[in-house]
Structure formats: C-alpha cells, structure tokens
Chain A
Amino acid sequence: MSLRAKDVDKVFNKLGMKVKNGKDRYALFYYEGKLILRTKRSLGKPKIDTKVRHLIRQQLKLSDTEFFQVVDCTLERPDYIKILKKKGLISS
C-alpha cells in the first residue's frame, strides 16, 4: 500500500521530529539534546512507494504496525521514546 507524502510528514510531526528541507525533506529525531535517528523523504512526489515507505520505517526503527499507528495517531512521541528505549537506541 502506497502512502501519501503528507502522511509521512504527519509521522515526522507526530514524533516531534525537526524537519530540514533541502533537495529532500530530512527529519531528525532528538531526545534530551541528542540526535537519535534521522530519515528523509523526496520532495515533489505526492505518493510514497511501498518499498520507500519500508526504508523510511527502517530508518525510524519502527515495525510496519507501529508506523501505521503513528499515521493513525494512536502512537505518539512518548510511545515512540518507549520503543526506542526498549530497542536500546535511547539509554533508559
């Protein structure tokens, strides 16, 4: 299932990521002043291909279910922080 680019922007926003626009749109996830993860999406394309979504999701260290939970607003930044702590990407 392809995704709309604005849904990916919603994910960046819901996770409280800092967005930087260049040739692509970069999204940076900071926690307590540290840059923990980064991802990007291409600008100018209204749809995000399934394989590209998979790559973005991998960079965010989310499962497919978790990724769609963010899109559906049922998973937010505090939950994401818990996931990253569980995965050892943020020290508890």
Chain B
Amino acid sequence: MKIEEKTQEAEAYYMFEKETVERFPDFFEGFADQKHVSFEKFLLELPAKPVVESPETVYIHRLHKLESDRYALRKVLFLQIEKTDDGEAFIAKIPWLDIFGIGKTKDEAIREFELSLIEDYEILKEEKDRLGDYLRRHYETLTKIIRELPYVAKSEGCR
C-alpha cells in the first residue's frame, strides 16, 4: 500500500471515529480511564440498542457477511443506522464509504445497504477503465472490502 493511500484510509477512519465519538459521548465516557482503548473495542462495546429511541438515535450494526451468492465481505463493516427525519424509515450508511441504503425497518435498511454496496461495485467495475480519480479510488476501496465468489451452477443444466 502506498503512503498516500494509507493516509487516505487513516483519514477516513479518523473521520468515522471522530463522528461516532461525537455522537456517542456517553458511551465513550466509560472508556475514560482506559487511555489506549482501541476504536474497534469501543465499537464492539457499544450497546446493540440504545435506551431512548428518537430520530437522532444512531445504531451501530456490524455487517459480517453479504446476503449474496456472488459476493462476500473481506472485512467486517460498521454501519450507522438512524431514522429518517420523518421517522418513517431507516437509513443504513457508512459515511466515509459514501454508500447508503433505506428501508422501512432496520433490517430492510441493512439489506438495501448491501444491495447498494454491490450495485456500486458492479457499476464502477463496468466503467473501471474510464473512472475519474475520485471514483477510481472509491473502486479500489471497494475491491478491498468485497470479493467476488466463484460461480457455482445451481442446477445440473439443460439436457
């Protein structure tokens, strides 16, 4: 990995950390006596469901795998899930990845996020030889996050 890429990844990670810590000040206080707690540990310790639900409530969902027979995740992703302003739906997103999914329930939003992630990858892969710098870097990030699975025929085919 080049230094430039490492810096970008670290910056994106830092921004995600900063934003999350700002939104979860109470949860972070619990780690005040642990100066060097890793951010991964901090996220793992977050409660699955906050006590008070409001449009501002943000849930963290650990996405371990994709509901797809064509793609798999290379690493666990941390999704932020929050209600839309009208309170009628949920948004699942990863801010630094610039991808989101919307659904009537949290599960539906997560599923929509997965589909958006895959669709984003497929669109950029199709255009990979003519991507601008920003989307080229984004595509490179996606290739580090998801991998294609080998094709497995489901039936024995035609006779």
* Residues of the B chain whose Cβ atoms lie less than 8 Å from the Cβ of A73: none
Given that A51-B91, A55-B93, A89-B132 are known contacts, is A38 also in contact with B82, CB under 8 Å in the complex? Answer: no
The answer for the CA separation of A66 and B124 in the assembled complex, in Å, is 26
B98 near A42: Cβ-Cβ < 8 Å = no
The answer for the CA separation of A59 and B84 in the assembled complex, in Å, is 18
A51 near B119: Cβ-Cβ < 8 Å = no
A83 at the B interface (CB under 8 A): no
* Residues of the B chain whose Cβ atoms lie less than 8 Å from the Cβ of A47: 86
* Residues of the A chain whose Cβ atoms lie less than 8 Å from the Cβ of B82: 51
B85 near A35: Cβ-Cβ < 8 Å = no
A50 — nearest CB in chain B belongs to which residue?
A: B85
A51 near B84: Cβ-Cβ < 8 Å = yes
B130 at the A interface (CB under 8 A): yes
Contact of B84 among A20, A31, A52 (CB under 8 A): A52
- Give the interface of B toward A (CB within 8 A): 82, 84-86, 88-89, 91, 93, 98, 100, 102, 115-116, 119-120, 123-124, 127, 130-135
Question: Can you give 25 contacting A-B residue pairs, CB < 8 Å?
Answer: A20-B123, A24-B119, A26-B123, A35-B127, A35-B130, A35-B132, A35-B135, A36-B132, A36-B135, A37-B132, A38-B120, A38-B124, A49-B88, A49-B89, A49-B102, A50-B84, A50-B85, A51-B84, A51-B85, A51-B91, A52-B100, A55-B91, A55-B93, A90-B132, A91-B133
